[in-house]
Chain A
Amino acid sequence: MYPQVLFQNRKPDRIASLEEYRASGGYAALADVLKNFSYKDVRTMMLDAMLLGRGGAAFPAGRKVMTVADDAPYPRYIICNADEMEPGTFKDRVLIHADPHMLIEGMIIEGYSARAEKGVIFIRPEYESAARILDREIEKARAEGYLGNNILNSGYNFDIVVHRSGGRYICGEVTAQMNALQGKRPNPKQPPPYATEKGLWGQPTVIQNVETLVCIPHIIRNGPEWFRNLALTETSAGTKVFCVSGKINRPGCYELPMGIRLSEIIETHAGGMREGAQFKACLPGGASTAFLTAELYDIEMDFETLKKAGHRLGTGAIMVFDHKTCLVEATLNLTEFFARESCGWCTPCREGFPYMRDLLWRIEHGKGREEFVSTLKQMCRHLWNSYCAFAPGGVAPIESLLTYFKDEVYAHIREKKCPFKSE
């Protein structure tokens, strides 16, 4: 068993209460910060801890908040991104249901480091139960003096509101999310200006994922070095909440050291492959990452190692496929997702995904032709010219299908049917 940091108060059937969170040391970091730390100290600690954004982009959290200039105007905002619409990902929901005050404390400390006074939790409508928990627990935190004016008699003011989304994948993209929060159509928007300069309502704004924020109280409590040492590899830090699903016995969220081997996650923690199923591939970090094949079954799961191997850890959502699952059809399903969820703002993404879905559909249903393969490759390259980062992410499964499983693709074309279907 590895140390449980973010899940230390997790229970099978209910959330941890404010009292339980406090009994485990909760809100001690906040009291310490407000009394003994400058906002710059907090920034340095986040940087020294090598805390990387857990929403998928892995940007150093300390560096992000450092881009808020000393003389930047007020009010400043902290947005907690709890939109979590990457297929296969459900860690933020589980984290909020496990210990909501850990997120609240993390947000306040993040707010202090940016000298922000307003916090917003942006949450998807599918997580209404989590949103209600947050509404209720924020109220409790306010009553205890952790939120509001003059927090713990420090003179620091910070408060949080929960913002419910109407539900669309693009709202997880930070610039689109800020448009959504301002009641505009959630199109992405290319920087500059960057959010930390001119974000929500034109004010300096720092956006962090739920899992990034819940790490912060622990970094303050135990120090950056302790946090770095939680990881098994030199180049990574902290624990990671892996969401494991697909053809394994125990789907769920597991908090494990960063850098743990994929094989160990699957065999020891997720209960191994289902009976009769052999590991064929997985998507290591959500639907916007490439298929990772059996050759890399023992890979150390951290941002740097995966990057070196040409992969991405993304959100840490590991979706496991077995030898009986057709990856052409799986890719068709993933492409359907992106075709439906494309916000429509830019042409390559809006037009490209439905076009590629059509080609994949024809291949899967025995109507494919060899030249479709080169057309698909060309289309993937076009989508790299899309306006935001979502489209290049969305073509990752297609590109990797054509690279690692081209025999499977050609078998569909040659046999004029899906080789995985009996009829």
Chain B
Amino acid sequence: MLPEALKKSLMDKIASVDHPRELVVDVMFSLQDHYGFLSDEALEEAAVLLGMTPLEMEELATFYTFIYREPVGKYVIHVCDSIICWMDGYESIRDHLSRKLGINMGETTPDGLFTLLPVCCIGYCDRSPAILINREVYGPLTLEKLDEILDALRKEA
């Protein structure tokens, strides 16, 4: 269940625009932030808020890269594997992350802290190889820097 305060703030926002559907991605992001991912429950709540069917919502939820329809870790690590990061050694970044976290791409660590996902060019080719952690960019990376980042996140968590 969505907390009343969040529900009300979303309803107010929806009421303030000409076309509620323009907010569909914002609403999905809000619910995802609250639940940790866009669960079936969240998907249906989003549909009700915007006067859409769950099927219409599903069509959008599964389309976008940054909407997660399955549970993810506290920190979602998107590893850029497009052309410039590829040239600058994304494979060693990916392999290092897999080894350190003990998971493959698409998986979440058993403690629920980290999820590893590939992502297409994130527009930080001047800082390659680069990754996003919860949509914040890190780069240019070395394996040492990566270790420091992971350690800092573990401490923070």
Contacts and interface: CB of A to CB of B under 8 A. Distances in A.
Interface of A: 84-90, 93, 124-129, 163-169, 180-186, 201, 243, 245-247, 251-253, 283, 287, 317, 319, 321, 325, 330, 333-334, 336-337, 340-341, 343
Contacts of B84: 87-88, 245-246, 251, 319
B25 A164 contact: yes
A88 B59 contact: no
5 contacts: A164-B29, A183-B24, A243-B125, A245-B84, A251-B125
A423 B66 CA distance: 38
A183 B26 contact: no
B64 A168 contact: yes
A164 B128 CA distance: 24
B22 A85 contact: no
Contacts of A317: 125
Question: Which label, helix, strand, loop or mixed, suits the secondary structure of the A interface?
Answer: mixed
Given A166-B66, A183-B24, A126 B125 contact: no
A167 B62 CA distance: 11
A88 B132 contact: no
B21 interface: yes
Interface in B38-57: 50, 52
B43 to A, nearest CB: 13
Contacts of A283: 83
B124 interface: yes
Chain B interface size band reads: 35 or more
Interface of B: 18-26, 28-29, 50, 52, 59-60, 63-67, 81-84, 86-87, 120-128, 132, 135-137
A169 B120 contact: yes
Contact of A124 (B123, B126, B128): B123
Given A85-B121, A246-B84, A251-B126, A166 B67 contact: yes
A185 B123 contact: no
A89 B122 CA distance: 9
Contacts of A164: 25-26, 29
Given A164-B25, A330-B87, A245 B128 contact: yes
A182 B22 contact: yes
A96 to B, nearest CB: 11
Nearest 6 A/B pairs, CB to CB: A166-B64, A183-B21, A87-B121, A167-B65, A183-B24, A245-B125
Contacts of A287: 82-83, 121
B88 to A, nearest CB: 8
